[in-house]
Amino acid sequence: MDKQMVDVHTEDGVADAYLVRPDGPGPRPGVLVFQDAFGLRPRLCEMVDRIAERGYAVLAPNLMYRAGRAPLFDLDGLQDPEQRGGIFEQIFPLIMQLTPDVIARDSKAYLDFFAAQAGVAAGPVAIVGYCMGGLNALRAIEAYPDRIKALASFHAGRVVTDAPDSAYRAVGKITGEVYFAHADNDDSMTAENVEKLEGALDAAGVTYRSEVYPDAPHGFTMADTASYQEAGEKRHWENLFALLDRALPTR
């Protein structure tokens, strides 16, 4: 596979990103991957590679590029619960800077860059998001329903809030298929929040599947952190690939 770090020019600067394209004849359907809070790092690149191995071109931008190129923090302590929490506290102010307007502007730049790459198929892409990336991937498909035809969101937080611009309020803009995997006992996405999200999706007539992974902590897909759950990670791959096979089948 062709793997490289690339620069994506946005309205607000330059985002570093990881781009992977499979070997062999193209064009390949495109998949955007939106990172969790801990950003572009070996674990996330491994996950991008696994998606690409199924025949997809994959682009994973550094969503927090305004603060610098990845990695932005020392991530050596991610497997220790206390250190992981301390790292997250450092990152949280950067997460809060990613407003719906910011994500809409950046997502356009990512989509435009991706569409201009050799070997990437024309037309809509799919998007995958983890943790904060799940929330922002939802915002992206709401902003560009004609350019993103499927969303897979895993252990996303703050999807449902009281804010007027809360992401769940705009799901009626979605025209493609979406999948949500929620962590069990997640303070950032409670059972009540899940119910509100599903109610909004039902009311809007969106094609979706939403489920809670039992005993899975927030961040269960990330094998390099203290929140990793093997069963949840395995289940997430099964559901992700099933969605991609339906929405963007490879030859």
pLDDT of residue 116: 95
Q: Quick check: is 36 catalytic?
A: no
pLDDT of residue 87: 73
Q: Tens digit of pLDDT for each residue in 85-141?
A: 777 788 888 888 999 999 999 999 999 999 999 999 998 999 999 999 999 999 999
CATH number, residue 7: 3.40.50.1820
Q: What residue numbers bound the domain in which 231 lies?
A: 2-247
Return d(Cα 25, Cα 79) in angstroms, integer: 40
The percent of residues above 90 in pLDDT, for the chain, comes to 82
Q: Quick check: is 218 catalytic?
A: yes
Return d(Cα 59, Cα 28) in angstroms, integer: 12
Query: Active site residue: 131, 155, 182, 236, which one?
Result: 131
Number of domains in the chain: 1
**pTM reported for the whole predicted model:** 0.94
What contacts 34, CB < 8 A, 6 or more positions away? 60, 61, 63, 127, 128, 129, 130, 132, 133, 134, 136, 137, 140
Q: Quick check: is 186 catalytic?
A: yes
Report yes or no: 199 and 172 within 8 Å, Cβ to Cβ: no
Query: Active site residue: 36, 155, 182, 218, which one?
Result: 218
Phi and psi angles of residue 110, each rounded to the nearest 5 degrees, phi first: -65, -45
Q: Tens digit of pLDDT for each residue in 159-196?
A: 999 999 999 999 999 999 999 999 998 999 999 999 99
Given the DSSP bridges, would you call strands 13-21 and 2-10 parallel, antiparallel or unpaired?
Answer: antiparallel
Query: Active site residue: 106, 155, 182, 186, which one?
Result: 186
Residues forming beta bridges with residue 33, ordered by sequence position: 128
